[in-house]
């Protein structure tokens, strides 16, 4: 950075518009800025350790949440298992109903015996998945009591498959509950991180004006230049990402790019720098 012979009256960090960033870019931006802030004297910026600790915990929690794609995968797996259960139950119930009219008397009697069980579980396919699993266990026990009739109708393999899928569903539901415990969606963490970032930026600007000597002001200017470079890098990454998506989609509706400043690192705001002066509070974040 070139030497500044005349110190400006006030300085400011450029707008980053990080609320527009995707999840990964948003987390990376906060982590980069946080790590930069840990390398300066926070006391001179009047930034407390508690605020930094909260920021760090939110960033770490965000990375944990972002890595838990398994939660989404488990949800999809649960839906597929539930659909498979519905297909098996429908197949078994329909086979029992059809075989009641079989010309084979033994099959007809076996079907009639199982029909008393099937009738008691009418509507099982439409039950919610959590209650369905427990209900199926009861159904399986009832089928066990009529093992001969099940064998006569050649339903043994279908019922075994029903038992296997139901067990897998129960285990998957339990795993999802375990993962979801303490889970906070990223969209809930983002505004909290942005709020802290906004406070940090305001502290930097205010600390410059309250600095007791030129040496402290020079250090703050150096910090702002570094932050402005970081912001410029992330804004550029965002714009390049949006441009690539537009090329892939070939859509008529373009995503508005974030305007690139001609002077992206200068800590001084000129009077006509309307773009940065008009940054929303949530977007000087």
Among the listed ranges 34-48, 117-131, 206-220, 222-236, which one has the minimum average pLDDT value?
117-131
Task: Indicate the average pLDDT of the chain.
Answer: 82
Among the listed ranges 18-32, 62-76, 144-158, which one has the minimum average pLDDT value?
62-76
Helices (H), ranges, 38-102: 49-67, 69-99
CB 85 within 8 A of CB 162: yes
CB 159 within 8 A of CB 143: yes
Tell me what the mean pLDDT of segment 233-238 comes to.
90
Tell me what the mean pLDDT of segment 167-183 comes to.
79
pLDDT single digits (tens) 95-122: 999 989 889 889 999 999 999 898 888 8
The pLDDT value recorded for residue 85 is 92
Model pTM score: 0.56
* CA–CA distance, 12 with 10 (Å, rounded to integer): 7
The answer to whether residue 173 scores a pLDDT higher than 90 is no
Among the listed ranges 6-20, 138-152, 267-281, which one has the minimum average pLDDT value?
267-281
The pLDDT value recorded for residue 282 is 39
| Nearest partner of 231 among 36, 58, 63, 18, judged by Cα | 18
The b-or-e profile of 241-263 (16+ CB within 10 A means b, else e) is: ebeeeeeeeeeeeeeeebeebee
pLDDT band, residue 186 (cuts 50/70/90): confident
Beta strands, E only, the chain: none
- Please state, as a whole number, how many other Cβ atoms lie within 10 Å of the Cβ of residue 231: 23
CA distances from 50 to 43, 153, 189 (A): 12, 69, 17
Q: Per the structure block, which two tokens stand in for 266?
A: 């200068």
The pLDDT value recorded for residue 60 is 87
HSE-CB for 279 with a 13 A CA cutoff: 23
The answer to whether residue 69 scores a pLDDT higher than 60 is no
Tell me what the mean pLDDT of segment 17-44 comes to.
91
The pLDDT value recorded for residue 267 is 58
pLDDT band, residue 246 (cuts 50/70/90): confident
Tell me what the mean pLDDT of segment 215-225 comes to.
93
pLDDT band, residue 3 (cuts 50/70/90): low
Per the model's pLDDT, the better-predicted residue between 274 and 130 turns out to be 130
pLDDT band, residue 226 (cuts 50/70/90): very high
pLDDT band, residue 164 (cuts 50/70/90): very high
Q: Per the structure block, which two tokens stand in for 102?
A: 């079989």
């Amino acid at each position: 950075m070139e030497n500044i012979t005349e110190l400006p009256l006030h300085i400011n960090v450029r707008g980053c518009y990080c609320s527009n960033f995707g999840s990964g870019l948003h987390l990376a931006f906060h982590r980069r800025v946080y790590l930069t802030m840990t390398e300066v004297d926070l006391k001179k910026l009047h930034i407390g350790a508690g605020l930094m600790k909260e920021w760090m915990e939110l960033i770490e929690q965000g990375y944990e949440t972002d890595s838990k794609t398994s939660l989404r995968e488990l949800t999809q797996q649960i839906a597929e298992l539930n659909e498979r259960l519905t297909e098996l139950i429908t197949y078994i119930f329909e086979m029992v109903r059809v075989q009641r009219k079989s010309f084979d008397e033994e099959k007809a009697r076996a079907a009639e015996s199982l029909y008393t069980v099937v009738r008691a579980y009418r509507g099982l396919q439409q039950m919610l998945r959590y209650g369905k699993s427990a209900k199926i266990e009861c159904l399986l026990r009832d089928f066990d009591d009529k093992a001969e009739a099940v064998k006569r109708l050649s339903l043994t393999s279908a019922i075994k498959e029903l038992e296997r899928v139901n067990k897998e569903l129960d285990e998957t539901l339990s795993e999802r509950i375990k993962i979801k415990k303490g889970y906070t969606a990223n969209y809930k963490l983002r505004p909290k991180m942005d709020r802290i970032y906004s406070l940090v930026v305001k502290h930097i600007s205010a600390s410059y004006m309250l600095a007791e000597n030129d040496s402290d002001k020079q250090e703050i200017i150096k910090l702002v230049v570094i932050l402005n470079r970081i912001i410029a890098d992330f804004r550029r990454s965002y714009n390049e990402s949006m441009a690539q998506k537009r090329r892939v989609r070939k859509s008529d509706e373009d995503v508005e790019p974030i305007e690139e400043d001609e002077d992206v690192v200068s800590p001084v705001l000129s009077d006509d720098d309307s773009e940065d002066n008009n940054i929303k509070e949530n977007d000087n974040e």
